[in-house]
Structure 1
């Protein structure tokens, strides 16, 4: 109800392309070359009545497999953080679909909560996002209802890195080893050490390994990982509109090495939001009491920070940004 109140307030200031009373949802499989198919979730506007359904550890009100409402709908593809899955930002996906967007999120094979076998093969992620866009435009059963000229991308943490690459960024992973020599206490460097991973793992990744997608016209990223690995040259080809979200108390990716280098090195000044008192994982949806007990490291916010209230505003601001940049 809080989300719908915000959307109603937004109607006076933005042109909503296909506002619908409810949200349709489906899970699909996407061909992934010689590997097993990718799994993706799709949220879209519908006039069918939504009901309560489980989505992993969460519950969402959707109409599964319902007919789509509207035409020439903008598409937003979504990339989750390390160890996540396609449902990691379901509340933002719901917000977008309620406002007339189609939101499609992929589970990045090899970097999900149940499969960390290729977590450091970061070049795989942009290619998977590229496959998602192609599937949505060419194969999805409602693909003719999409506007191929209005495609945005949303990413959090490793997903923020992924979206920057998809939008034209070229990181230099050889920067990781010297960075960790100086910042061995950072979560990134500590994780590499405990996993027994050689810090030079990315030194031989050619620029051609990073897949870009010119179909993306607007980008929203939250707490992007490996921000220090791009530099001005590595971000020089990112010409899309970019909105960056930064958690003021991000102890997982401490300032000023992740969000700030991206902000400062983009050729076009981005929109930049710093969320006071927020931690890294406050960009994930609010957890219920059971999940908070199971996963306190990602569910518990700092005292005084109301994640639910923040997400109401966060989703509304993301929606506003995408309305402005995907007219």
Structure 2
């Protein structure tokens, strides 16, 4: 047996040393026709470099060549006060798994400018415009399969994505909700940014190109009832943080879960807070409100599982990349 070792060694090395052509995540910055800032991640080859994305860091291949083949597209909608990089680790995981990923910074609802944070009706059209941009304007658009598009949304982004697949909220419920829960985040935001009225009837903002969605701690879940979600027929993966102090149970993720016409794939996360769905921060003490987790909760370890589950779900519902 010892004599055979030299002959087996090359095969052993192949198994234990990563391939030089293993999938990495390419990255580009851009803007939509309306001027919204976007980040784009996609499968790539090359030497990754560690790059800073605001509060976060990720290993990417900047401006890498867009791959051949047809790849599913996932668009990402961040929460109030976030930006396109809020879920950078999830975007990178998806890109390495064969997806093209595009995330936008919502105009008027981001960390630089939150002047229109309560104009929630402006968010779904922005996501629709992002899909259109990726399919018709992005230079790498030939690498996208337009029949396989998914979406990921966190907090206000979860609300956004849910309405983009047929959800119709009843925003008149805000008044009674905030009368009973005036200290909740959404209610304090409404107090800080009052508006003359809410939409008496939510228009159909469905984007039929989106075929599967992931919702993490969706905002305003209580404004949806069974009739309001009756048209949501795409597969849904729904996540709840069990120690969410920003959007506490049972008014948000649980309300969506009850109202969906088809039961979602539901995932609850013991010990997690609202912001634990954001990417792990590079320097948590610099922004403890967003970056710090509760004692005993390991955000980085959770995100390993979270990203695996998101990738698995979207692969199952949208399929893998295909060569031409």
Q: Distance in 2 between matches of 1:232 and 1:250?
A: 24
| Equivalent position of 1:288 in the other structure | 282
User: Would you say 1:310 and 2:302 are equivalent positions?
Assistant: yes
Q: Distance in 2 between matches of 1:201 and 1:105?
A: 30
Q: Distance in 2 between matches of 1:72 and 1:66?
A: 17
> Shift in Å at residue 190 of structure 1?
2.7
| Equivalent position of 2:9 in the other structure | none
Using the size of structure 2 for normalisation, the TM-score is 0.89
| Equivalent position of 1:143 in the other structure | 141
| Equivalent position of 2:241 in the other structure | 247
User: Would you say 1:130 and 2:128 are equivalent positions?
Assistant: yes
User: Would you say 1:223 and 2:217 are equivalent positions?
Assistant: yes
- The structure 1 residue matched to 2:194, chosen from 186, 193, 197, is 197
> Shift in Å at residue 51 of structure 1?
1.4
Structure 1 segments, 4+ long, off by >2 Å, are: 190-193, 204-208
> Shift in Å at residue 294 of structure 1?
2.7
SS in 1 for 2:89: helix
SS in 2 for 1:40: strand
Q: Distance in 2 between matches of 1:20 and 1:69?
A: 13
> Shift in Å at residue 192 of structure 1?
2.5
Aligned CA-pair RMSD: 1.6
Q: How many residues end up aligned between the 2 structures?
A: 300
Using the size of structure 1 for normalisation, the TM-score is 0.88
Q: Which structure has the larger Rg? A: 2
> Shift in Å at residue 50 of structure 1?
1.5
- The structure 1 residue matched to 2:25, chosen from 23, 43, 55, is 23
> Shift in Å at residue 158 of structure 1?
0.2
| Equivalent position of 2:3 in the other structure | none
Alignment of 1:29-68 (within 5 A): 29-32=31-34, 37-68=35-66
> Shift in Å at residue 288 of structure 1?
2.8
| Equivalent position of 1:187 in the other structure | 185
Q: Distance in 2 between matches of 1:84 and 1:201?
A: 25
- The structure 2 residue matched to 1:80, chosen from 78, 81, 88, is 78
> Shift in Å at residue 72 of structure 1?
1.0
Q: Distance in 1 between matches of 2:297 and 2:163?
A: 31
> Shift in Å at residue 293 of structure 1?
2.3
| Equivalent position of 1:5 in the other structure | none
SS in 1 for 2:210: coil
Superposed CA deviations along residues 121-173 of structure 1, whole A, max 9, x for unmatched, are 10110000000000111111111111111100000000000000001111111
Unpaired segments of 5 or more residues in structure 1? 1-7, 9-18
> Shift in Å at residue 53 of structure 1?
2.0
> Shift in Å at residue 205 of structure 1?
4.4
Q: Distance in 1 between matches of 2:164 and 2:74?
A: 13
